[in-house]
Amino acid sequence: MESGAVAYVRQHKAKGLGHAVWCARRLIGDEPVAVLLPDDVIAAETPCLQQMVEAYEETGGNMVAAMEVPVAKASSYGILDVKEDHGSMVSVKGMVEKPAEGTAPSNLAVIGRYILSPNVLDNLDTTQAGAGGEIQLTDAIAKQINSSEGVYGYRFRGQRFDCGSKAGFLQATVSFGLARDDLRDELSQYLQEIALTQQAAE
C-alpha cells in the first residue's frame, strides 16, 4: 500500500476482536502488523506504539502492551502468565482472555496495542469462539507462545485511559485538557467551581 493511504474493511457481525482483525487479513499481507484499540487512549511522552517498536527491534516475535490492573478487575482483560520478568519487558508462558474471578494467573493485563506476526493472522483462520462467545485475538496470540517467535509483554511508560467506559472517557478529556497551555487555566477554574458547588450541595 502507498504510504499515507487509508483502507478499511467492515466487520459485518460483532464476532469479536480476533474476527475483526481477521477481516483485515488481505490488507495486511505477509508482514508484521500493529493493532491499536482506540478505546485504550494512552498519554505518553513517547507514543506507546513507538516504545513497543523500539523494544520489538530487540525481541521480534509478538508483543502486547501490558499494565498492572487491580486484581478485582483482572476478569475484564486479557491477562499474562509471566515466564521471565525483565522489568519493562516480560516473556509470556500463557495468556487468558477475561479469566473467571479468582483464576487469573497474574494482574498483568493486555492493553490495546499489539505488534503481531503473520502467524497470528494464520492462527485466526482456525481460532474458535472463546470468552464471551467471541473469537478472541488473545487466543490466536497465545498459540504462538511455544513457537520460536514467542510472545512478550511490554510495560509501557504513560497513562492509559479506558475510554470504553464513560468515566474513563471523561477522565481522558479532562486530563488532555489540563495538559494544554491554551485550556489549562479556564478548565481548572471551572473544575474547582463545580467541585465547590458539589461540596456545598452535599
The residue (of 44 and 187) whose beta carbon lies closer to ligand G1P is 44
**Cα-flanking dihedrals φ and ψ of residue 141, to 5°?**
-70, -40
Residue nearest to ligand G1P (CB): 78
**Shortest distance (Å) from residue 61 CB to ligand G1P:** 18
Residues forming the site for ligand G1P (CB under 6 A): 17, 37, 40, 77-78, 97, 109-112, 137-138, 164
CB of 14 to ligand G1P, least distance (A): 11
Give 61's Cβ-side CA count (13 Å radius). 24
Cα–Cα distances in Å, from 114 out to 2, 36, 80, 197, 202? 22, 7, 14, 43, 45
CA dihedral (148, 28, 154, 109) in degrees, to 10, reads: -100
For ligand G1P, which is the closer residue by CB, 32 or 112?
Answer: 112
Min CB(31)–ligand G1P separation in Å: 23
Q: Which is nearer to ligand G1P, 112 or 150 (CB)?
A: 112
Residue 174 CA to residue 189 CA, distance in Å, equals 12
Could you give the CA distance from residue 38 to residue 30 in angstroms, rounded to a whole number? 24
- Give the nearer residue to ligand G1P in terms of CB position, either 40 or 81: 40
User: Which residue lies nearer to ligand G1P by CB, 39 or 84?
Assistant: 39
21 φψ region: left (φ > 0), alpha (ψ -120 to 50), beta (else): alpha
Distance of closest approach, residue 199 Cβ to ligand G1P, in angstroms? 33
Rounded least distance, CB 90 to ligand G1P, Å: 15
